Structure 1
Amino acid sequence: MRILPTLFLFLPSILAWSGSDISRRAFFQSSGAAVFLGATAPANAVGGQIRYGDESIMVQKEHGTSAAPVQSDLLYGVDKQLADRICNYNRRFAELGGYFQKTSFEDTVLNAQGPITFYDSVTGKPLFVAPKNRSAEDFVKESRKHGWPSFRDDEVVWENVRVLRNSGETVSLDGTHLGHNLPDGKGNRYCINLVSIAGKPTGSV
């Protein structure tokens, strides 16, 4: 199957959180973009093939699709109110394209001595570890190109993350909306809201 990268050139301008009826989910469904097929990855592993979930993950709970609000002191200087809205009361929209560039995300990635673990803004569970098998500069460059932090299969903690097969929506197993899988010519690309992965690890909050 051939995936054309040009299919996603207009995402940053049409998929931001707004009053528009257009969303990443609607775009994904209408475009016919395909999710790369995969199998089960070992528990506790970082990386591996895509793991799918179903709509039961995102049923209504005590606080939207999650059991609790986002953490009170999120990392990278992200806005807590925006984070709670996108993580827990949203299936369709995203933070504005390029939002992460107004935070400390880039400096944190570029100044780190190795890969960074990104934690669920609600539960504090690990969701992504990046960069892996690429440089920090390449990770930031790709994220800038698409407008949102962009992760690859090698960087996903599949113990805690699932992709909904029919929509490409990428979520935590606890019901946090993270973003969408928007494959390109290199494979699966997880286009993730920074506000959804700005948590502190469980036990530190």
Structure 2
Amino acid sequence: MLLLPPPPLLSLAFRLVLLVVGSSCVLCCCEQDQEWCDALAVMSEGKPKGPVKGSEDIMKPKAFGTCPNPVQEPLKWNCNPELANKICAHNRHFAEHAGYFQETGFLKEVDRTKPTTYYDPITNKPLFVAPVGRTFEEFEKESKSHGWPSFRDDEVDWGNVRVLPDGEVVSTAGTHLGHNLPDRKGNRYCINLVCVAGRGPSEDGAAPSS
């Protein structure tokens, strides 16, 4: 049994949160180390219920903009690598134009019968798996309605994705992905297709993961 001081003795800046990770109990200072606490939640058996927060340090300058290297080539679905490099590594606010994903080979080539894994074109690490908890037709309809591929909480790989305080969605390697634009259904991650068009570690043309 863990005994904690009564609430009046706990500083608001140092509220204690007990996280259960597997069979171990980890005591952490959540307001001081929110990102660390969120990472522990990702490693636990259950998925976090909402977005895993990240800090601006993720997007600090690296060898190639905010990323360690350029995107792999060729990208999936005939996505434009020049556009991908600009949006993924040298951008924090702008996006491919609305409906771009419909102009690529995505809707013709994607497997509509099972969930698809979407990879970071910089590192080849998985970022999203969709559709989850809905049909592909529902995923497609929502994406077309908003203009960009739109993912929900259960479709995010929180081991490799973070949401910054202003709603920017990024990979843990520094890849700009898009933004969280919640609607009445909850969090909606509006993502550039070029930023999830990596081929993955098992496909030809993929750069080594880092």
Q: Verify same fold: TM over 0.5.
A: yes
What is aligned with 2:196?
A: 197
Determine helix, strand or coil for the equivalent of 1:76.
helix
**Structure 2: segments with no counterpart, 5+ residues:** 1-37
- In structure 2, C-alpha distance between the alignment counterparts of 1:43 and 1:160, rounded to whole Å: 12
Runs of 5+ unmatched residues, structure 1: 1-38
Q: Aligned partners of 1:138, 1:131: CA distance in 2, in Å?
A: 8
Indicate whether 1:182 and 2:181 are aligned: yes
1:112 positional shift? 3.2
2:92 is matched with which residue? 91
* Alignment correspondent of 2:50: 49
Counterpart of 2:60? 59
The question of 1:100 aligning with 2:126 is answered no
Q: Which residue of 2 aligns with 1:143?
A: 143
Cα deviations by residue, 1:80-102 (Å, 9 ceiling, x for unpaired): 10000000000010000000000
Any conservation in 2 of the 1:121–1:199 contact (CA below 8 Å)?
yes
- TM-aligned CA distance change 1:46 to 1:136, over 3 Å: farther
Q: Which amino acid aligns with 1:161?
A: V
Counterpart contact for 1:50–1:153, Cα < 8 Å: yes
Deviation at residue 42 of structure 1 after TM alignment? 2.7
- Provide runs of 4+ in structure 1 moved above 3 Å: 44-48
Supply the distance in 1 between the matched residues of 2:48 and 2:127 (Cα, whole angstroms): 11
Q: Shift of the alpha carbon at 1:46?
A: 6.8
Q: How far apart, CA to CA, are the structure 1 residues paired with 2:145 and 2:48?
A: 22
**Matching of residues 1-205 of structure 1 within 5 Å:** 41-43=41-43, 48-109=49-110, 111-165=111-165, 167-204=166-203, 205=206
Is the contact between residue 75 and residue 199 of structure 2 (CA under 8 Å) also seen in structure 1? yes
Look up the match of 2:25: none
The count of residues paired between Structure 1 and Structure 2 equals 165
TM-score, normalised with respect to structure 1: 0.76
On the 8 A contact 1:47/1:156 being kept in 2, the answer is: no
SS of the residue 1:64 aligns to: coil
Q: Per the alignment, in what secondary structure is the counterpart of residue 77 of structure 2? A: coil
2:10 is matched with which residue? Answer: none
What is the rounded CA distance, in whole Å, between the counterparts of 1:192 and 1:123 in structure 2?
A: 17
8 Å CA contact 1:46, 1:156 repeated in 2: no
**Higher RCO (CA-CA < 8 Å; seq separation 6+):** 1
Give, in whole Å, the separation in 1 of the partners of 2:137 and 2:150. 13
Quick one: which amino acid aligns to residue 87 of structure 1?
Answer: C
Amino acid at match of 1:149: P
8 Å Cα contact 1:121/1:196 also seen in 2: yes
Equivalent residue letter for 1:170? V
Shift of 1:47: 6.9
SS of the residue 1:82 aligns to: helix
Q: Quick one: percent identity of the two aligned structures?
A: 54
State the TM-score, normalized to the length of structure 2.
0.75
